[in-house]
Amino acid sequence: MNPQAAQLRRSRLTLVLLGVLFVGPLIGAWILYSAGLRPGVTTNYGMLVVPTTPLPPLNLRTAAGDSQPELLLGRWSLVQLGGELCDSACSDRLTSSRQVRLALGAAGVEKDRVQLVFIVPTAAAAEVATNELREAHKILHIVADLGVAGQRAADVFKPTDPLAVYLVDPNGNWLMTYQNQPSADQFQRGLLKDLKKLLRLSSIG
């Protein structure tokens, strides 16, 4: 065989092998994803959002009317959606999230990298929640979502569990959902374990 042709053949074979090496895993992952073999709910831990979903700009305002366009940026956010009133179950879930954040500090993880955000549907609801929850939840960010239909937090998260908690990364991406938790204890243990791993592995936020 002509040496030049042989060299060309080897070069082409090398390119094919490199393509298999780098593209093969992506194709395999796509096939598994298409077949329905996707990350799901593991025991007591959050459900991974696939694909990761960037949140749209949200029209978030405090009870005082202050705009908070970048509230969900810069830190890891544990987001809970509320209604016009926060009942005992709602308040208990807020308490569970707060206790997880405190436990991060006790475990030697920077708890200030995590913020708690409670989003309600109206300015009136934000005022009520601020008056009723501020004393017990001093670090809680309480905001009303005043965006138009289709551009609200509820339109993105599409909640099926009123007590669900949504984990948003410092870049504003929705990463995980914690819903239908069998008990407050299991919710706290699972969320704490996930957050400890994320914060130790991540340099953002």
* Residue 75's CATH number: 3.40.30.10
- What local confidence, expressed as pLDDT, does residue 153 receive? 97
d(CA 194, CA 50): 17
Looking at the fold, whether 171 and 130 belong to one and the same domain comes out as yes
Widest CA span of the chain, in angstroms?
A: 86
| pLDDT computed for residue 205 by the predictor | 85
Q: Are residues 147 and 190 in the same domain?
A: yes
Looking at the structure, tell me whether residues 119 and 177 fall in a common domain: yes
| Residue ranges making up the domain that contains 17 | 1-38
Are both 71 and 27 inside the same structural domain?
no
Sheet (strand 114-120) strand order? 47-54, 173-178, 165-168, 76-81, 114-120, 141-145, 60-61
pLDDT of residue 203: 86
Low-confidence ranges of the chain (pLDDT < 70): 1-44
197 C-beta neighbours (distance < 10 Å), count: 12
> Do 64 and 92 reside in the same domain of the chain?
yes
pLDDT value, residue 14:
53
Pair 93, 152 in one domain: yes
10-19: pLDDT as tens digits:
655 555 554 4
Residue 110 sits in the same domain as residue 11: no
The pLDDT value recorded for residue 45 is 82
Q: How many domains are contained in the chain?
A: 2
Residue 199, φ and ψ in degrees, nearest 5: -70, -30
Task: Looking at the structure, tell me whether residues 29 and 49 fall in a common domain.
Answer: no
Which has the closest alpha carbon to 154: 79, 77, 48? 79
